[in-house]
Structure 1
């Protein structure tokens, strides 16, 4: 079976669990930006945990299938419409051959994940079907008219419905590894001030506008490895939360690292959203 892309919306890319293990080649893990939503989408349709899906930013995606398909949409409050009829949220949707399936623009959240039973079976690059926006590694972004192959059914049972976790409250983070490069006032500011998501944000990093975080040490750091959810502070003092397509290394100190759940929540923050940080429970 094939999925034909009729319209991509503002941004649609292929994502899976990522390509870890290639940092020595200068290639970041990439993968889905909201990993929990990605996992729920695959679980709903009975895919293996690493199956490829479409990551759709702010809706607008429209596709059709040349055979009957089993779909699920997660991540935001966007819904699937099948030939114009709306379906539920975070549930299994069965679609007849030839029907037009569309993703509405969400009112809350940023990235939706469209999974189809069997997974999107394009050729992997370095073991992954994820598109890395920064390095340009992985499958090309889908375009209108593309026909994407759907793989064989994996045999996992479908889940009829799931409930997405709540997304309110501050982003929990652990201090370090370079919190000693900042003043005590900077640490207090990080966990006390409100920040705003900048329009310059993307799947590489969530750029924040707000109070600058003052450094206690002015020496230069050699480039160091970073992980998804790392809160790096460049010379202007405004924090950047690294997301799935983050660079492999960075020369600026990392003041804190979000918990995995907080990193998933950060993936759904739109420009203009307010961000607060809290210390993760020990």
Structure 2
């Protein structure tokens, strides 16, 4: 009699266990597993979407971290700003919550794959501008005499060039401590050469058109420029216009008008910083 009572009880218990297991599986386990799978899938898609942006960010950051100085400081400032903006814009991969509803909510939030194409293009442009500016500064940092001569010859208004030697350098500054490493005089078509004393371009000096003085450091170039500035507006002692570009001192003749000096200086600056 007891056995007959025990068997139904066992059957009922088994039914309860099976029913409970089914309820737990379909109401909790299966939805949770599906939520986890969907979340992981969304995370993988987000990581894949973030990859091109991460690469662009890393590439620009490596240029910034190189500490190489650009000719135009604004390119570095812009690059840093664009890098910061990109990091803020990137959708971050979240930690997976524990509760099923929270997992589904997190999945929904990251399911819309962001389009970073414009941001990546902006980063690429900022990097190109920064890299080019770095190259430009290197180009005007103690350039060779050959470089100076070659670039001057590409300017239409310049009719001739002549580099000085230690023997022909009337300033006695070539290759001396704090002096220039190269000095190239040039004649301008806008200067009446018959009115300028001297038989050669070097003898006519800056008055014939101008001169390019190359220094080992920007400090030396600026020191020389300050010295020349002390003669500005001093009649026959006026040394013409003078600006420092990198470690290069660009000088133009006092025989030129202010506008002509400005235009010629810009032409030389542009040609010296042109990436050919």
Query: Does 1 or 2 have the higher relative contact order (CA < 8 Å, sep 6+)?
Result: 1
The structure that has the greater radius of gyration is 2
**TM-score scaled by structure 1?**
0.23
**TM-score scaled by structure 2?**
0.23
More helix by share: 2
